[in-house]
Structure 1
Amino acid sequence: MTHMISWLRLMGQAFTLTGLAVATAVVLHVIAFSVIFIPVWIGIPMFVASVLWLRALANEHRRVAGRLLREEIPAPYAPLPDRPTARLTTVLGDPATWRDFGWVLANSFAGVALLAVPVGAFLAGVWYLLYPLLFALAPAGSISGHLFFETNTQLASFVTLPIGVACMALSRWLAPRVLGTYGRLTRNLLAPSERSQLQARVQQLTVSRADSNDLQATELRRIERDLHDGAQARLVAMGMTLGAADKLVEQNPAAARALLNEARDASARALNEIRDLVRGIHPPVLADRGLGDAVRALVLDTRFRAEVSVELSHRLPAPVESAAYFAVSEAVANAAKHSGAQRIWIDISHAGGRLRIVVTDDGTGGADLSAGSGLRGIERRLGAFDGVLALNSPPGGPTMVTMEIPCALSSQKISSS
C-alpha cells in the first residue's frame, strides 16, 4: 500500500511538471513576442513581466525537483531594484536569466520527452483498464475503433485489461527513474552556479560583517554611556565628597565622618554598577560554567516559570557561547515585554555540527520578525556566526523562536554541579 501511495504521489508530481512545462512553453512564446515590440517600448514592460513570470515557473520547478531529489534547490537571482527602468538592466545582466532561457529550451524538448513516457504509460493504463466499462456504457460501436484492434462484443473488450495492467506496471517502473533524471536535469540547469554561490556568499559575509561591526559599535556606545552616567558620575561625586571631608576633618569631625560614610556608600553603589556592567558584557557564570548554567541563572531573575533543557557534552567556543547567551537573553526579554506569557521553555542542544536553541513561551503570539528591533538584533548577532533565526508565532500563541549556529564543541567538558 505504501508503494502504491508513493507511486501515485510521483505521478501527481509528473502531471504537475507536465503542466508547468506547458506553461513555460507559453511564456517562451510571450517573451519572443515581447522582443519584437521592444523598439516601440511596449515590449519592454511586457518582456520584464514575462521574464518574472518565467522566474516564478522556474522557482516552482525548483521546488518540485527539490522534493524529488530530497534537497533544496535555491534560486540564484540577483535582487531586483525598486525603479522599473533599472529592473530591465538587472534582469538582462543577471546570468541566471540566461540560464533560465537555456532551461526553457531544454525543458521544452528533453524535459517534455522525459515526462511524456511515464505520463503516457499511466494514461494508457487508465484507458485500457476502463475500456470494458466504457464499452458497456457507450452507444454500440461508438468507441470500438479507439484501439489498435476491433472489439465487437463486451467479452472481447476485456482483452484490454492485461494491457492496462502492463501499462500501469511500466508506468510504476518508469516513474521514479524518469522523474529522478528530470530532477537532476532541473537541478543542473536551475541551481546556482559555483560563481553565483561564491558571489552570494561574499555578499552574505559582507552584510554579516557590517551588522557585526554595527552591533559592536552599539555595544561600545552602551558601555560608554553606562560608565559615564553611572559609575563615573558616582566616582566624581565621591571625590568631591572626600575633598569636602578633608576640609572639615579638623573643624567639624562629625560632619567629616558623615561625608566619609556618604562616600563609602557611593563607592559601594559604584562597585555594584561596575559589576552589573561587567555582567552585561560577559556574565561570570557564563565564563565559569558554560551556556547551560548561564541560561538557568538568567531565567531565575525573571517572573517566568521556566524549564531549561540542556544537552551539551562539552563547552562551546567562547564567542559562540556569548552570542548564544545574549540571543537567549534578548528572546526572554522580548517575551517578558510583549507576550504576556507565564511560562517559558528553553531547549539547548548540539547535533550535526550545529548549536540549536529553541525558546518557547505560552504568550499571546503574533510576534513579527520585521516589526521590532529585538528579534532583528538577535538575527544580526547570529548572522556574525552564519547562524539563522526562525520565528513561529501564530495569533493566540505559542511563540517559538528557533536559533541555530554552526559550530563544533570544544574539548573542555561541562563543569559538574
Structure 2
Amino acid sequence: MPLNAILGVAVLLAWVPGIRAALVSLQRAWAGAALGRTVPARAPGPRVPAWLAINAVVGPALLVAVFVVVTNTVGVLFRLQPMRNSPSVTLTLSLALLTLSALALAIAALMGLAEARLAELLLGDGGSLAQRVRELTASRAAAVDARAAELRRIERDLHDGAQARLIAVRMNLGLARSADDPEQARKLIEEAWESAGQALADLRDLVRGIHPPVLADRGLAGAIEAAALLCPVPVTTDLVLTGRPEPPVESALYFAAVEAMSNVTKHSQATRAWVRLRSTGHGIRLVVGDDGRGGADRAAGTGLRGIAERLSAFDGTLTVQSPPGGPTVLTMELPCAL
C-alpha cells in the first residue's frame, strides 16, 4: 500500500506516455508479486487511464488518512501523558496502541491485495481467463487438425488396403466367370477368396484403430492391460478406476497409453516400464514410465506431441519428466466424470 500511495501522487504526472508506461510496468510487476502470479501486459486502451484516475484519487487520500491518524495519535499521547498516570492507564493505552497497530497492518495488507487485484483487472490482459481462452482455442484447433489427419489416414488405408483387395476380388471373379478352363476358373476363385480374406483383415485392423473391440468389451483398464502384454518391454501395470468414463475419453486415454508404450519400445532402450491408472477427484491420471536413457522431448518428435494433442481435445494435459539418463515419466491427466 505505501507504494500505491506514492504512485497515487506521482500519477498526476503520469499522463506523459513514457512515464505512464514505466508506472504501468512497475505497478503490474508489484501486483504480480503481491498476488503470486504473473500479470501479463495488456494492449494500450481505456483501462490504463481509468487506473491512473483511480490512483490519482486513492493515492493522495491514503497519504492524508495516514497523516491524520499519526498526528491525532501523537496528540492524544502528549495530552494524556500516560507516564504521569497510573500503571493501569499506561497498560490500557499500550494495549490500545498495539491493537490499533495490528488492525492498521491488517487493513493495509487487505487494501494492498485489493489494489493489486484492481491493477491486474485494469492493467493485465485478463489473466488466467485470457490464457485459458487461448489454450482452449489452440487445443480445439489441434483437435480439428488431428481429426482431419485421422480421416485422411482412414481414407488412405481404405484406398490402399481393403478397396484394392476388393477390386482384385471382383477382377478375379470376372475372369473366372468368363474362363473356359475349369482348373483356371478354380484358381481364380481361390485367389478371390484369399483377397476377400485379406480385405476383411484390413477392415478389422482399421476398425480396431478407430475403436478397439477390447476397449468396448473390457473397459479402459482391461484394454491397457492387454496392450501392455503385447509390449516387447516388460510392463508392470497398476490400474484402478472407480467408474467408467465416456467412450471418447476412454479412447483418448487408451491410444495415449499405447503410443507411450510404443515410444518406450522404439526410443527408450529400457529394460522395464510401468503404467499406473488412477481416478482423481476431478478425472483420471495415467502415468507411463520407464527406466531407459531419458531425454524425451515433445518438440523432438511426433509421438509425444500427438499424445498432447489427443489429450488437449478433452482439456487434458501431458507432463514430461525425462532427465538425461532417465527415468522417463509421462503424466497424463484428463478431467472427466466417473
TM-score range, shorter chain: 0.7 to 0.9
2:300 corresponds to 1:371: yes
* Alignment-mate amino acid for residue 152 of structure 2: R
2:254 corresponds to 1:333: no
Alignment of 1:157-176 (within 5 A): none
Alignment of 1:7-406 (within 5 A): 36=16, 38=17, 43=18, 51-52=24-25, 55-63=28-36, 73=37, 75=38, 77=40, 91-93=43-45, 95=47, 181=110, 184-185=113-114, 188-189=117-118, 196=126, 199-248=130-179, 250-251=180-181, 253-406=182-335
> CA offsets, 1:190-231, max 9 Å, x none?
6669x9365554444333322222211111111001110111
CA distance in 1, matches of 2:197, 2:59: 76
Look up the SS of the partner of 1:91 in the other structure: coil
Deviation at 1:396, TM superposition (A): 1.4
> CA offsets, 1:268-306, max 9 Å, x none?
111111111111000001111111011111122221110
Identity within the alignment, %: 43
CA distance in 1, matches of 2:14, 2:40: 21
* Alignment-mate amino acid for residue 242 of structure 1: L
The structure-2 alpha-carbon separation of the partners of 1:381 and 1:187, relative to structure 1 and needing over 3 Å to count, comes to farther
> What TM-score results when the alignment is normalised by the length of structure 2?
0.72
> CA offsets, 1:53-92, max 9 Å, x none?
65445433332xxxxxxxxx5x4536xxxxxxxxxxx532
Q: Which moved more, 1:336-345 or 1:224-233?
A: 336-345
Deviation at 1:377, TM superposition (A): 2.2
Q: Does the CA contact (< 8 Å) of 1:91 and 1:97 recur in 2?
A: no
* Alignment-mate amino acid for residue 61 of structure 1: A
Look up the SS of the partner of 1:92 in the other structure: coil
The structure-2 alpha-carbon separation of the partners of 1:180 and 1:338, relative to structure 1 and needing over 3 Å to count, comes to farther
CA distance in 2, matches of 1:105, 1:389: 47
Q: Give the match for residue 83 of structure 2.
A: none
> CA offsets, 1:313-344, max 9 Å, x none?
22111111111111222222233332222321
> CA offsets, 1:350-398, max 9 Å, x none?
1212211111111221222333332222222222222122111111111
Look up the SS of the partner of 1:345 in the other structure: strand
User: RMSD of the alignment, in Å?
Assistant: 4.2
CA distance in 2, matches of 1:106, 1:395: 54
> What TM-score results when the alignment is normalised by the length of structure 1?
0.60
Look up the SS of the partner of 1:369 in the other structure: coil
CA distance in 2, matches of 1:104, 1:340: 64
CA distance in 1, matches of 2:46, 2:327: 42
* Alignment-mate amino acid for residue 147 of structure 2: Q
